[in-house]
Amino acid sequence: MLDLHQWQARFATWIEQELGQADVSHDPEHIRRVVRNAQLIQAEAGGDLAVIIPAAWLHDCVVVSKASPLRSQASRMAAEHATQWLASQGYPEQYLPAISHAIAAHSFSANIQPETLEAQIVQDADRLDSLGAIGLARCLMLSVELGRRLYDPQQPIPRTRPADDQINSIDHFYTKLLKLPQTMQTATGRALAEQRTGILNQFLDQLAQEVGES
């Protein structure tokens, strides 16, 4: 019988080694939150934990910078690397194709449609970590690492200008984060995403007030 509790300890050890050079928003704590999100969603939506748990733990096992032209390939690279490692560790072979698909499909930039409930759950779990208080902090921390300014001084909130998150941190809310609830695959994921998006909107409203744009 598959002992997922024992396997999770092995996943945690391996992923800490693999994420040695990760960016600030894709550290081991991100992984742990995604696993927790996946478990929350699975408790309502169902799905096979023998696929969901390893996919959630290993979904970012290949580190590719957000600024790299290879970023859209990262989840496919992670899927291959993860399943090779799982096979070498003796994880049951029958689960590997589904785990590979769930990892490959989790990425926003890869644009791979999740074809299984397990893949939908892992994708939702990862995207939830881009929302709420954690998502806000991750966005700003990564923007600092990439050398992006907080906002456009001429128009901090992109109301009439095109949003450009390659220059302005705040613009990333408009190019991606606020759109994530519409991409959620499960009812539980959507409900959690809508709740967490409220935190981002409150922050943006407060920012607008403080810079005199409200």
**Residue 74 predicted with pLDDT over 70:** yes
Cα–Cα distance measured from residue 146 to residue 137, given in angstroms and rounded to the nearest whole number: 14
Q: What is the pLDDT of residue 21?
A: 61
| 66 confidence band (pLDDT: 50, 70, 90) | low
**Residue 20 predicted with pLDDT over 80:** no
Q: What is the tens place of the pLDDT at every residue in 109-150? A: 767 899 999 999 999 999 999 999 999 999 999 899 889 999
Helices (H), the chain: 4-18, 28-45, 49-58, 74-88, 96-105, 117-128, 132-145, 171-175, 187-210
| 158 confidence band (pLDDT: 50, 70, 90) | very high
Cα–Cα distance measured from residue 73 to residue 70, given in angstroms and rounded to the nearest whole number: 5
Structure token pair of residue 46: 């169902």
Which pTM value belongs to this model? 0.92
The answer to whether residues 99 and 56 touch, using CB atoms and an 8 Å cutoff, is: no
**Residue 79 predicted with pLDDT over 80:** yes
| 151 confidence band (pLDDT: 50, 70, 90) | very high
Structure token pair of residue 101: 């698909």
Q: How large is the C-alpha radius of gyration of the chain?
A: 18
**Residue 44 predicted with pLDDT over 80:** yes
